[in-house]
Amino acid sequence: MSDINLNLDGLIAFLAAAGLGLMLLFAMLLGAIMAAVRAHQRKQRFTQQLFFPHLMGMTVSLLCCLGIELILLLTDSTLPPRKIPIWLDRWVLLWLLVVVILWPVTAWLVRKTRARTALQSG
């Protein structure tokens, strides 16, 4: 028998958070490039583009993914049983759904705030 003691608590959650984070980074990069080109063509600011609220939403979701990965890495040094990684593994679909839903909710809040400030200023 081998003496290797593998601890796989939180592995599914870590891989899911890392995968979602990488997809968000890729989407943010492509969207920002397209929005910058469009802003240059229309002679507008980058923040005036329709993509900007979505960029803010994706940033919030990305920060949540990074927070989950940080929690998993910090709890890896604690003694078993590791309750947080086990919970994140069991409820991976729930927290993934919440993290993904944060994107459109944040985009909606950014649009609403921008519309409110535009009405107040002009």
DSSP for 44-113, written as a single string: --GGGSTHHHHHHHHHHHHHHHHHHHHHHHHHTTSPSP-HHHHHHHHTHHHHHHHHHHHHHHHHHHHHHH
**Residue 11, C-beta contacts closer than 8 angstroms, at least 6 positions apart:** 89
Closest CA to 68 of 6, 14, 119: 14
Q: What tokens were used for 54?
A: 């979505």
pLDDT recorded at residue 5: 58
**8 pLDDT above the threshold of 60:** yes
Residues counted in the chain: 122
**81 pLDDT above the threshold of 50:** yes
Asked whether residue 36 is domain-assigned, the answer is yes
The domain total for the chain is 1
Residue of higher predicted confidence among 5 and 8: 8
Asked whether residue 72 is domain-assigned, the answer is yes
pLDDT recorded at residue 108: 95
- Which residues form the domain of 73? 11-115
Asked whether residue 6 is domain-assigned, the answer is no
Confidence of residue 75 (pLDDT cuts 50, 70, 90): confident
Confidence of residue 79 (pLDDT cuts 50, 70, 90): low
Quick check: 12 and 56 in contact, CB under 8 A?
no
Asked whether residue 74 is domain-assigned, the answer is yes
Asked whether residue 5 is domain-assigned, the answer is no
Pairwise CA distance, residues 85 & 17, whole Å: 12
Whole-model pTM: value is 0.85
- 3 state SS of 6: coil
